[in-house]
């Protein structure tokens, strides 16, 4: 199988081209590919397939040509991945599979159709069309996060109150109390949470405030434990969930929040029904692997 390796702020993916939906992709193969010692190593797999050729996306084919078939590292499906969408858009535009029009590049996901654009387009800058306009950071509109209610996460002896947020996938945002540092958290194991509230699992974000950043209405630091992938260096949809909670707690309906993750910095801009997630998207390698060697 051919593959490309890419990442967004350290959240890394194996990208598998499969335009006509012919690959025999299984949970076992995905888990083997993502194994960091016996496989290529990644937080997940992005299968690049035309929406019209995948049963989960055929109903969206009229809105988007390409479907991001996202699998977690353990071989389970996920509805959305904010960093993954940016890397997916980078792959499409860099490979000439899509150009993106004046309204951006529509991409079908299990959470619906989202739109990717060059990051400068979200600030009103000119030059969004053409291949050159996609050379820098990318942004994706994931739609405004929905704050649903409260919850609790447990990490070792700590019980941490959180806020449930829907970004197309489930999140529990836990703002740490004074005296608790991100470095204090042992995330080698999954945090505890109410499994009745989150029957398919949940991404848990841990947040502390940071100093002012120019051009931002807020600045925080975040660690995240992703369902199906364990702790990752970054979570794009998680950054959106965090920004929604930070702005709500500040009494603001919208604004721009800088979110520092272990893998770098993401910027989230919430404006009306839009939530723009902006940051780098990098392709680092291309090659081939033998599926039988990974699963044998």
Catalytic residues: 81, 235
Q: What is the 3-state secondary structure (H, E, C) of 223-243?
A: EEEECCCEEECCCHHHHHHHH
Residue 259 in contact with residue 3, Cβ under 8 Å? no
Q: What are phi and psi of 38, to 5 degrees?
A: -110, -10
Residue 243 in contact with residue 270, Cβ under 8 Å? yes
Q: How far apart are CA 104 and CA 135, in angstroms?
A: 14
Q: How far apart are CA 293 and CA 39, in angstroms?
A: 9
For 110-202, where are the E strands, in sequence order? 112-118, 138-141, 146-155, 158-166, 170-175
Q: How far apart are CA 210 and CA 73, in angstroms?
A: 30
Residue 143 in contact with residue 273, Cβ under 8 Å? yes
């Amino acid at each position: 199988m051919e593959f490309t390796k890419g990442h967004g702020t350290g959240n890394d993916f194996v990208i598998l081209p499969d335009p006509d939906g012919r690959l025999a992709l299984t949970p076992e193969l995905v888990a083997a590919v993502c194994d960091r010692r016996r496989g290529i190593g990644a937080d997940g797999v992005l299968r690049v397939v035309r929406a019209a050729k995948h049963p989960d996306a055929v109903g969206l084919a009229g809105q988007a040509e390409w479907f991001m078939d996202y699998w977690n590292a353990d071989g389970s499906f996920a509805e959305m991945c904010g960093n993954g969408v940016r890397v997916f858009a980078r792959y499409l535009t860099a490979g000439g599979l899509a150009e993106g029009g004046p309204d951006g590049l529509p991409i079908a996901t299990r959470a619906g159709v989202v739109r990717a654009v060059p990051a400068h387009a979200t600030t009103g800058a000119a030059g969004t069309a053409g291949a050159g306009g996609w050379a820098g950071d990318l942004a994706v509109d994931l739609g405004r996060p929905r704050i649903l209610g409260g919850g609790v996460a447990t990490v070792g002896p700590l019980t941490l109150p959180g806020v449930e947020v829907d970004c197309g996938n489930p999140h529990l945002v836990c703002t740490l109390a004074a005296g608790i540092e991100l470095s204090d958290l042992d995330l080698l194991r999954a945090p505890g949470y109410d499994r009745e509230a989150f029957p398919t699992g949940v991404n848990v974000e841990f947040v502390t405030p940071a100093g002012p950043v120019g051009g931002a209405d807020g600045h925080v630091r975040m660690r995240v434990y992703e369902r199906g992938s364990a702790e990752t260096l970054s979570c794009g949809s998680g950054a959106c969930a965090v920004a929604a909670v930070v702005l709500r707690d500040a009494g603001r309906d919208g604004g721009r929040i800088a979110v520092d993750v272990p893998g770098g910095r993401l910027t989230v801009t919430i404006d009306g029904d839009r939530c723009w997630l902006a940051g780098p998207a990098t392709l680092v390698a291309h090659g081939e692997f033998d599926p039988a060697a990974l699963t044998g």
